[in-house]
Chain A
Amino acid sequence: MSITTSSHAVVGTPLRPLRRGRDNCILGGVCGGFATRLGIKERNIRVIFALLALFFGLGILLYMTFWLVLTRSGEEHSIIQQIFQNRREAQIVLVAFIATLILVIALQSTGTRVSDGFGWPLLLSAFAAFAIWRGASTDERNHLTDFFNTAPVIGGAFSKSRKGVVLRVVIGAGLVIFGLDQLNRLGGVWRSAGSALFGTAVLVIGVLVLFAPWWLQNVRELTSERRERVRVEERAAMVAHLHDSVLQTLTLIERAAANEGDVVRLARNQERELRQWLFSPETHTNASTSFVGLVGTIEHDVENDYGVRVDLVTVGDCVPDDRVTTLVAAGREAAINAAKWSEAASISIFTEVEPNSISFFVRDRGVGFDLDTIPVDRQGIAMSIRQRMSQLGGEAFITTAVGDGTEVQLVLPRTT
């Protein structure tokens, strides 16, 4: 069971249990938690911790310890519990702890007196910070990331902008110089600085040799973990698509097995859709932004409604405006006409978008007809296609002969 305490301290009203604050927190919510528990103002607790920090960093160390041990409001386990629940995390943190100890002992032996003053508490706090980062819940990590990204100085150092880099370099260089100066002073005279530096260098290399493989592995695991996640997501999308389309169609085909026409139509429909999904970029399939996409709907509709196969070839593309939409409507009529009357098993549509014009061809190798003796209904369609095109300032040509198929050619000049 997780326990959520009320979000803010109510002065004079102590509340149980002791939890790190979630809403009234700056960093870890330790002060806010105490304030809520004891019924005191948060500010007072923060002042106490700050004052304690002056005593050899005691306040900082205490803060970090509470951060580790106290459960965050709304969560089930404290950070330390989280760490020890996961064997790998526990190992990592233990290794880090040992590394800290080695660092301290090594520094000690090179003559740097870390045990004095702030040394010990700071090092331990640094270790605690590492442990907190490893053990924190995702939510708390997000909170901390936000905090550091918006913090005035540190946030700047994390950013990748030019200003951030400059800031980082300045701060880093300042710290290095300060550190060298400190080492120098500890050695008492300039002469011993060399050996101190040497010692530090050996130490750093030693630590690297000891922990680099482990660190690298850690990083690598993270990367492969991320890659794996991307793969899983892609696979999920693929599965979803296949399920929605291919599997459904296959089921339909099984049920319609007796009807040859239905089977062909379903299979062709699915084939077209799958092709589009696999090979066509999205922009080329959207009927509102693409001429090719618009023409594709003719292929779809004619094949579905008339069971005639459409061989569609498109060259070039453009964004359809009103005129282009009318051209496609005329082309659609020509295609439906061919599908209905030609008795051919397939019709060919070819479109080409050129800088100055758009051409639209519909051809069938069906029965054809004699232009002079067209049945009235077909004449009507031919007329309507011609009229539409001339209204657009374009042209329509119909080439046909009995037994020799029909071709309708539409040409639309482009104004732009």
Chain B
Amino acid sequence: MTESAQPRVFLVDDHELIRSGIRAEIAASVDIVGEADEVEAAIEMILERNPDVVLLDVHMPDGGGQAVLRAVGEHDTTTRFLALSVSDASVDVISVIRAGARGYVTKNISGPDLVDAIYRIAAGDVVFSPRLAGFVLDAFSTGQDDQLILAVDPDLDQLTARERQVLRLIARGYSYKDIAKELSISTKTVESHVSSVLRKLQLSSRYQLSHWASERHLN
């Protein structure tokens, strides 16, 4: 994708109403190359059309967004995924990020915000909503058995103080630009912190992360 061109976007959602709503809001600003309402068709068409960004519904029959992420992830593509959901269940959100999505927004996001998020994903950035930041802070919170984990993989399983700071500011409703101003760093640095958090989230085999998730699930 060149800087000036519109990103090529693919829509995956099993609700026609939601798809048409999203289409109406973003059609003017991006290039919609296709849409699918089921997992299997989505995988096939994404691989065929190779879009820049896939807007992916988390909850669908036959495995949902995670199934699409896994299947496409096995192939060598440059396609990036932005998860879109009405769900507030932290487990869903964290697991779709761990499966490879580069960001997560809720379906009640405004049109301009969604377009902005798509452009950022297309440019290789990560999109964290305040809520996702809250979930991540929660998941990486320093529990008592953290000492055990530290010994195993200190790099991956801990967030740096700076990363925590950035996440907190996102959770407080700050934009990247606000955060950069607040911390007196560049927007690029903020982005790299968030990307690093995402990487940790995806790579960490942290016992606590799955423990945290299962605890949430059981409750």
Interface residues of A (CB under 8 A from B): 275, 278-281, 283-284, 311, 313-316, 347-348, 350, 352, 355, 361, 363, 365, 407
Does B51 touch A at the CB level, under 8 Å?
no
Contact A350 B88 (CB under 8 A): no
Within 8 Å CB of A313, what residues of B?
Answer: 130-131, 133-134, 171-172
Within 8 Å CB of B219, what residues of A?
Answer: 281, 283-284
Does B89 touch A at the CB level, under 8 Å?
yes
Which residue of B has the minimal Cβ distance to A409?
Answer: B172
Contact B137 A315 (CB under 8 A): yes
Contact A279 B89 (CB under 8 A): yes
Q: A275-B88, A279-B89, A350-B130 are in contact. Are A361 and B172 (CB under 8 A)?
A: yes
CA distance A2 to B73 in the complex (A): 71
Query: B72: shortest Cβ distance to chain A, in Å?
Result: 27
Within 8 Å CB of B138, what residues of A?
Answer: 315-316
Query: A217: shortest Cβ distance to chain B, in Å?
Result: 32
Interface residues of B (CB under 8 A from A): 87-89, 130-131, 133-134, 137-138, 141-142, 168, 171-174, 216, 219
Query: B144: shortest Cβ distance to chain A, in Å?
Result: 10
Within 8 Å CB of A280, what residues of B?
Answer: 88
Q: A313-B130, A363-B173 are in contact. Are A350 and B168 (CB under 8 A)?
A: yes
Which residue of A has the minimal Cβ distance to B218?
Answer: A281
CA distance A278 to B91 in the complex (A): 13
Contact B141 A315 (CB under 8 A): yes
Query: A376: shortest Cβ distance to chain B, in Å?
Result: 28
The 3 closest A-B pairs by CB, nearest first: A348-B173, A281-B219, A313-B134
Contact A279 B88 (CB under 8 A): yes
CA distance A304 to B173 in the complex (A): 21
Which residue of A has the minimal Cβ distance to B108?
Answer: A271
18 more A-B residue pairs beyond the given contacts A283-B219, A352-B137, with a C-beta to C-beta distance below 8 A: A275-B88, A278-B89, A279-B88, A281-B216, A311-B173, A313-B171, A315-B137, A315-B138, A315-B141, A315-B171, A316-B138, A316-B141, A348-B173, A350-B171, A363-B172, A363-B174, A365-B173, A407-B172
CA distance A275 to B168 in the complex (A): 23
CA distance A364 to B178 in the complex (A): 13
Query: A263: shortest Cβ distance to chain B, in Å?
Result: 14
Within 8 Å CB of A279, what residues of B?
Answer: 87-89
Within 8 Å CB of B171, what residues of A?
Answer: 313, 315, 350, 352
CA distance A348 to B142 in the complex (A): 24
Query: B1: shortest Cβ distance to chain A, in Å?
Result: 31
Which residue of A has the minimal Cβ distance to B131?
Answer: A313
CA distance A348 to B169 in the complex (A): 11
CA distance A220 to B165 in the complex (A): 57
Q: A279-B89, A283-B219, A350-B168 are in contact. Are A315 and B134 (CB under 8 A)?
A: yes
Which residue of B has the minimal Cβ distance to A267?
Answer: B108
Within 8 Å CB of B172, what residues of A?
Answer: 313, 348, 350, 361, 363, 407
CA distance A407 to B173 in the complex (A): 10
Within 8 Å CB of B87, what residues of A?
Answer: 279
CA distance A350 to B131 in the complex (A): 9
Query: A394: shortest Cβ distance to chain B, in Å?
Result: 18
Which residue of A has the minimal Cβ distance to B92?
Answer: A279
Query: B109: shortest Cβ distance to chain A, in Å?
Result: 11
Within 8 Å CB of B133, what residues of A?
Answer: 313
Within 8 Å CB of B216, what residues of A?
Answer: 281
**Within the complex, which residue of B89, B134, B168 is in contact with A314, where a contact is CB–CB below 8 Å?**
B134
CA distance A291 to B174 in the complex (A): 23
Query: A166: shortest Cβ distance to chain B, in Å?
Result: 35
CA distance A280 to B90 in the complex (A): 10
Within 8 Å CB of B173, what residues of A?
Answer: 311, 347-348, 350, 363, 365
Within 8 Å CB of B131, what residues of A?
Answer: 311, 313
CA distance A280 to B87 in the complex (A): 11
